[in-house]
Amino acid sequence: MVEDTTIKSPTVTSSSSSSSSIAAKLKSSYQSLVHEAATLFPKMDQKLLLNVLQFETTYDDWEGSVMLKVVYPANKVDLESKKDWIYKRYERVPSVEEGRTLRFKAIRMYIEELEKLLSEDQEIEYVTGSATLTPSDAYSA
């Protein structure tokens, strides 16, 4: 009689099962989001995309500070004209890396702007970089 107490209580089992199903549901939702992000923005670094999405939806006053790297196909694009295009659009002079990547810091780089950037320049092969919460970073070196 004494040995027969505690441990396998139905309450614990039920709670465990319920929490497991909640976790599975959350994981499934996240995987759907990641899959949709990759489908809608196939040329974007998915980590950067999700960071921008998170900052933009979490902080109303986020200024869209992003250090952006726009990658073009190697040896197939006139990078000088692309630099001019970036300057006219964002008032930033990009630096060139590896002869195919334009790197610059921008503000107001929200999801909609990334969408416009990719749709207006079909030659872009890949967009990567990092989003930051600190507005002053947008103006530093």
Residue ranges in contact with other proteins by CB under 8 A: 38-39, 42-43, 45-47, 69, 71, 74-75, 97-98, 100-101, 125-126, 128
Task: Compute the least distance from the CB of residue 75 to other proteins, in Å.
Answer: 8
CA distance 30 to 24: 10
Nearer to other proteins, 75 or 136 (CB): 75
Nearer to other proteins, 49 or 109 (CB): 49
CA distance 112 to 131: 15
Task: Compute the least distance from the CB of residue 36 to other proteins, in Å.
Answer: 12
Nearer to other proteins, 47 or 108 (CB): 47
Phi, psi of 67 (to 5 degrees): -90, 110
Contact 64, 107 (CB under 8 A): yes
CA distance 50 to 33: 9
Phi, psi of 53 (to 5 degrees): -60, -40
Task: Compute the least distance from the CB of residue 86 to other proteins, in Å.
Answer: 16
Nearer to other proteins, 91 or 123 (CB): 123
CA distance 74 to 35: 28
Task: Compute the least distance from the CB of residue 24 to other proteins, in Å.
Answer: 18
